[in-house]
Structure 1
Amino acid sequence: MPAVGTPEDTICAIATPAGEGGIGIVRISGPHAIDIGSRVVRLRSRQPLQTLASHTLHLADILFPPIPSRDGLSISETRESTEQIVDEGLVVYMKAPRSFTAEDVIEIHCHGSVLVLQRVCEACVAAGARLAQAGEFTKRAFLNGRLDLSQAEAVLDTIKAKSALGLKLAQRPLRGELAQQVHQLRTGLVGLLAHLEAGIDFAEEDITFVEREAMIVSLQETLAHIRRMLATAETGRILRDGVRVVIVGEPNVGKSSLLNCLLRENRAIVTDIPGTTRDIIEESVDWFGLRITLVDTAGLRDTTDLVELEGIRRSKEAQHEADIVLNVLDGAQLATIDMGTVRLPSLGDEHVWVVNKIDLVDAASVEPVSDALRARTKCKVLPISVRTGEGLEALKHAIRVQLGKPSFEPRDGVIITHVRHRVALERAETSLQETLVSIERGIEPEFVAVDLRGAADALGEIVGAITSDEILDRVFSEFCIGK
């Protein structure tokens, strides 16, 4: 028998989410899938499992396989056969290579009881399978050439998508769009490298395999393409992971009320007592197809309360991790003081000043107060009322505009969503820059080839053409069991 943990093992796992449901699926994949499936499945038609047409569903009883007793008799010979039945369900045989893993796959569709699914898995293990590791089905699909590495990552992104645009974005590399562009760029670099190395091998023959100017032009075009891809990385991060909007301000300016109003539910406790919120409270909503995580924080003020001090420390930490910071001010209070005495700190472009409680201010005073603030800050200033809802749609629009793009709708062209892809592209960019400098300075072609090969290898890491066990372990460790 092969050692545990090798590709020669036949693996099994529950492929549906934990919890109760009408249907649950146990997946078996590997070279002995048919033999193991035959031990745990008895078709109502009495046909042998291996004779079934691929990708067709058949009604079956799901059994716990016979276990030899001490006297040599199997359980089936010492007990009623009905005691072995775990459940009834449907069985499908997907013959290699026409399956997700490109191996023989048996899927057992049974009732979605946690106990039933666990028992079916136990039956598969008793029949000779081993439990799959996290991401092992997708890893086998990659190792068997069914998916490249970027497509495998897109499978995980599709499973974890939290917004409509995030899902749409994940499905593009799953169709191979990223891989196609990366392969095209890498093929061009490998072709140049082949000509360059041929010139090195035949240096004494005075044969030119590629003109210097033609190589420079080709490398510059590839470099420009890589930079265009890198320019999409921030948009890709937002589409994939969403936007983090942190609400800050002094106590009792309406931060928690704003959170509740934007969420349309009473998520945070609201009282007139200063310092009610002492910890980070966060919830997510879907706005304009994006996942927006709203974070309420402790009020910023001088205090000696140790718990409140810890909350203030976390508030400041949350600001550093934010994509957008909403600084909430009490508009009713501002309307009663000399605006010339108001001093606002110099803040980054990601900050927005939100003037709350304008329902408590004379209508004629709202704009003068807002204008006085605008004269003292480069950040956007928005008057709102969480009590009446006035200005909330304008605030949502401002958050949308603050993200810096007129549209996040994925259109033509690849959008980079993974840090691993961005880092690989940055390495390819650096190697190409060094290659161009070396060519322009007349450096020996052997050194030019080293940089050129580095760029090609960096691109190869994105799709798995160049990889290592460390990269594979890191990628597939994020998957759930059963996928």
Structure 2
Amino acid sequence: MGEETIAAISTAYGSAGVGIIRISGDDAATIADKAFKSKSGKKISEQATYRIIYGHILNEEKQFVDEALALTMWAPGSFTGEDVVELQCHGGITVLKKVLEIVLKAGARLAEPGEFSQRAFLNGRLDLSQAEAIIELINAKTETAANVAAKHLQGVLSSEIKKCRQAILELIASLEADLDFPEEDFARLSPEEIDSYLIKVETTMKTMLHSFTSGRIIREGLKVALIGQPNVGKSSLLNTLLKTKRAIVTDVPGTTRDTIEEYYNLGGIPLLLIDTAGIRESEDPVEKIGVQKTKEIVEQADLVLYILDLKSGVTSEDQAFLSQLPTEKVLIVGNKIDLVSGEEGKIRKKIKKKLVNYRFLLISATEKIGIQELEKEIKNMFFAEKWEIKDKVFLTNLRHKTALDKALATLASARHSIASGLPSDFILIDLKSCLDFLGEITGETVDEEVINQIFSQFCLGK
């Protein structure tokens, strides 16, 4: 293939039982033979594909460095589509760096971030959306996110995109045949038939596009800010949801001065819970910074859990702060219900009167009262119905959404041309643009700069 042979540590940095050095390229076997000596004396280059042999890693002076297993995967049946050797050593980072150094001195080049996956794409082992699914799978924060990424890696999204491209391609062929061979006697599509054909493709694409809101949350999670005045129980709620004492809780107002961020799995939805400094006027410069940071976080949050102390009720400060926020992204959480037992009815009426049009519920963070109801309400705010991961394609990548938006715009333009009675040439221009935008998702029509940018975001060794 003429490509340089590359190598990198493919396992996470840190202590582990096993660490892997991956080597890929035409000279993978030759380079590996310089670093590895099998117990049997047989060279790696003499092994069949998909074989594992035991031996030792030796440095340039033939001194022992580590025990290892060498795994062979010859082209085209490897991840990259090239000859690949993986040296499986002990997982200490010092050992792995030493083995990698030996491999690089033997003739390999250190791989760039994502270069193994990029070679898999360039060699036709994966399309671009499948390659992007690798990093989604690695970074998945919940089992649901991992399942969606795995489906993308298997090509479920690619398959739907390719079906749409094929349908557009067939229509382009029919229209071009009509233009190129006007004298030929074959069945021609009427404008109504063309429009009906495009509506079917458009419906499929809109269904995928509609899934992006849920898909983005599955992949990235919801950013949930815990907001309220000092000592209302924000940190207690964080600890209760996480089922661990993550934040310091005291009776002293202003204990939390900086933000605390932790991921929490809510039925497959990764929630980034952000415990913030209590909102109040303060002369303390550190606390002032914390309050300003809280206001910035509120702007970025998908959901604000505004926590009230039910003993104090709704204050003018609460009303003033809430008036700056859109009601649809706020859930009022009345805390310490255990301390006002028997007064729930009165409390609900007061909250409804002072905070009109806000969702609210009552809990006790310390006694774990109402926590399940809170979790259910968060789900209901963002998901009207239960996901069925098994039977649905979720769009999770903003790049894919942008390309699909553009593809749908060109279909709308093509349908407008049909409705206006314009000739087929105008329709073809839009259909070919649609084909290109869909091809950007799978990588068939994307430029090299975009490809390099995508793979540069991958981790080293992948």
TM normalised by structure 2 equals 0.94
**Alpha-carbon offset, residue 344 of structure 1:** 6.5
With over 3 angstroms needed to count, the CA separation of the structure-2 counterparts of 1:42 and 1:442, relative to structure 1, is same
Instruction: Report the Cα distance in structure 1 between the residues aligned to 2:27 and 2:309, rounded to whole angstroms.
Output: 69
Q: Secondary structure at the match of 1:222?
A: helix
Q: Secondary structure at the match of 1:414?
A: coil
Q: Does 1:39 align with 2:34?
A: yes
- Say which of 348, 351, 358 aligns to 2:327: 348
Q: Which amino acid aligns with 1:124?
A: V
Instruction: Report the Cα distance in structure 1 between the residues aligned to 2:217 and 2:387, rounded to whole angstroms.
Output: 9
**Alpha-carbon offset, residue 308 of structure 1:** 2.6
Question: Which residue is equivalent to 2:71?
Answer: 92
Identical aligned pairs, as a percentage? 40
* Structure 2 gap segments, 5+ residues each: none
Q: Secondary structure at the match of 1:352?
A: strand
**Alpha-carbon offset, residue 304 of structure 1:** 4.1
Question: Which residue is equivalent to 1:297?
Answer: 276
Instruction: Report the Cα distance in structure 2 between the residues aligned to 1:153 and 1:343, rounded to whole angstroms.
Output: 41
**Alpha-carbon offset, residue 206 of structure 1:** 8.8
**Alpha-carbon offset, residue 462 of structure 1:** 0.6
Q: Does 1:272 align with 2:267?
A: no
Q: Which amino acid aligns with 1:460?
A: G
Instruction: Report the Cα distance in structure 2 between the residues aligned to 1:278 and 1:165, rounded to whole angstroms.
Output: 34
Question: Which residue is equivalent to 2:168?
Answer: 189
Q: What per-residue deviation string (whole Å, max 9, x for no partner) do you get for residues 86-120 of structure 1? A: 21211111111111111111111111121211111
Q: Secondary structure at the match of 2:23?
A: strand
With over 3 angstroms needed to count, the CA separation of the structure-2 counterparts of 1:7 and 1:476, relative to structure 1, is farther
Q: Secondary structure at the match of 1:13?
A: strand
Matched-pair contact (CA < 8 Å) for 1:89–1:110: yes
Question: Which residue is equivalent to 1:475?
Answer: 454
- Say which of 340, 343, 364 aligns to 2:342: 364
Instruction: Report the Cα distance in structure 2 between the residues aligned to 1:54 and 1:146, rounded to whole angstroms.
Output: 17
**Alpha-carbon offset, residue 60 of structure 1:** 1.2
Instruction: Report the Cα distance in structure 1 between the residues aligned to 2:182 and 2:453, rounded to whole angstroms.
Output: 43
Instruction: Report the Cα distance in structure 1 between the residues aligned to 2:164 and 2:186, rounded to whole angstroms.
Output: 26
Q: Does 1:228 align with 2:207?
A: yes
Q: Secondary structure at the match of 2:342?
A: helix
Q: Secondary structure at the match of 1:423?
A: helix
- Say which of 290, 296, 304 aligns to 1:311: 290
Instruction: Report the Cα distance in structure 1 between the residues aligned to 2:107 and 2:236, rounded to whole angstroms.
Output: 58
Q: Which amino acid aligns with 1:112?
A: G
**Alpha-carbon offset, residue 121 of structure 1:** 0.9
Question: Which residue is equivalent to 1:257?
Answer: 236
With 467-476 and 12-21 compared, the bigger mean Cα shift is at: 467-476
Q: What per-residue deviation string (whole Å, max 9, x for no partner) do you get for residues 154-213 of structure 1? A: 111111111010111110011111111110100110111122223333357797643322
Instruction: Report the Cα distance in structure 1 between the residues aligned to 2:22 and 2:385, rounded to whole angstroms.
Output: 44
Instruction: Report the Cα distance in structure 1 between the residues aligned to 2:334 and 2:356, rounded to whole angstroms.
Output: 13
Question: Which residue is equivalent to 1:330?
Answer: 309
Q: Does 1:246 align with 2:238?
A: no
Instruction: Please tell me whether Structure 1 or Structure 2 has the larger radius of gyration of its CA atoms.
Output: 1
With 370-379 and 384-393 compared, the bigger mean Cα shift is at: 370-379
RMSD: 2.2
Q: Which amino acid aligns with 1:148?
A: D
Question: Which residue is equivalent to 1:104?
Answer: 83
**Alpha-carbon offset, residue 251 of structure 1:** 1.6
**1:74-153 paired onto structure 2 within 5 Å:** 81=62, 84-153=63-132
With over 3 angstroms needed to count, the CA separation of the structure-2 counterparts of 1:262 and 1:413, relative to structure 1, is closer
Instruction: Report the Cα distance in structure 1 between the residues aligned to 2:56 and 2:102, rounded to whole angstroms.
Output: 12
Instruction: Report the Cα distance in structure 2 between the residues aligned to 1:204 and 1:438, rounded to whole angstroms.
Output: 24
Matched-pair contact (CA < 8 Å) for 1:199–1:208: no
Q: Does 1:19 align with 2:14?
A: yes
Question: Which residue is equivalent to 1:437?
Answer: 416
**Alpha-carbon offset, residue 257 of structure 1:** 1.8
- Say which of 412, 418, 423 aligns to 2:391: 412
Matched-pair contact (CA < 8 Å) for 2:37–2:55: yes
Q: Does 1:387 align with 2:366?
A: yes
**Alpha-carbon offset, residue 305 of structure 1:** 3.8
Q: Does 1:52 align with 2:47?
A: yes
With 394-403 and 462-471 compared, the bigger mean Cα shift is at: 394-403
Instruction: Report the Cα distance in structure 2 between the residues aligned to 1:310 and 1:472, rounded to whole angstroms.
Output: 41
Q: Secondary structure at the match of 1:12?
A: strand
Instruction: Report the Cα distance in structure 2 between the residues aligned to 1:53 and 1:217, rounded to whole angstroms.
Output: 54
Instruction: Report the Cα distance in structure 1 between the residues aligned to 2:365 and 2:67, rounded to whole angstroms.
Output: 55
Instruction: Report the Cα distance in structure 2 between the residues aligned to 1:56 and 1:279, rounded to whole angstroms.
Output: 53
Matched-pair contact (CA < 8 Å) for 1:246–1:318: yes
Q: Secondary structure at the match of 2:158?
A: helix
With over 3 angstroms needed to count, the CA separation of the structure-2 counterparts of 1:411 and 1:59, relative to structure 1, is closer
With over 3 angstroms needed to count, the CA separation of the structure-2 counterparts of 1:209 and 1:126, relative to structure 1, is farther
Q: Which amino acid aligns with 1:34?
A: A
With over 3 angstroms needed to count, the CA separation of the structure-2 counterparts of 1:204 and 1:476, relative to structure 1, is same
Q: Secondary structure at the match of 2:19?
A: strand
TM normalised by structure 1 equals 0.90
Matched-pair contact (CA < 8 Å) for 1:198–1:209: no
Instruction: Report the Cα distance in structure 1 between the residues aligned to 2:433 and 2:458, rounded to whole angstroms.
Output: 29
Question: Which residue is equivalent to 1:374?
Answer: 352
**1:213-224 paired onto structure 2 within 5 Å:** 213-224=192-203
**Alpha-carbon offset, residue 277 of structure 1:** 2.1
**Alpha-carbon offset, residue 145 of structure 1:** 0.5
With 166-175 and 31-40 compared, the bigger mean Cα shift is at: 31-40
Q: What per-residue deviation string (whole Å, max 9, x for no partner) do you get for residues 382-430 of structure 1? A: 1111222211222122222222332134131211000011001100010
